[in-house]
Amino acid sequence: MSNEFQRPVSVDFAPQGSHCEWCGKPAERQLTAIGGLYHNESGTFCQPCGEEFTQGVANALSATVTAATYVRQQHQ
């Protein structure tokens, strides 16, 4: 599953004064997963944690697409 911009995560500015949900540092971005297993899961993140979140979502989405492709190939 993909979205219009081929991105696994929507990026917005974090509300002023918010903190990273993973490490507690000041948050820079609010990220929301698009599609796949984590669709609509979101949070506020600092730069390093946001990159990790984005990579995790991308990896999960890639695994889902790979599994779906494998299943389709088995039924052909």
Bridge partner list, 32: 10, 42
Sign for the CA dihedral angle at 12, 26, 20, 7 comes to positive
Least confident window among 14-23, 40-49, 54-63? 54-63
- Which residues, at least 6 apart from 29, have a Cβ–Cβ distance to it below 8 Å? 11, 12, 13, 14, 44, 45, 47, 50
Question: What percentage of residues in the chain have a pLDDT greater than 70?
Answer: 70
pLDDT one-digit tens code per residue, 61-75: 776 554 444 444 555
Nearest to 44 by CA among 57, 30, 34: 30
Of all helices (H) and strands (E), which one includes residue 45?
A: strand 42-45
User: Model-level pTM?
Assistant: 0.70
Higher model confidence: residue 39 or residue 16? 16
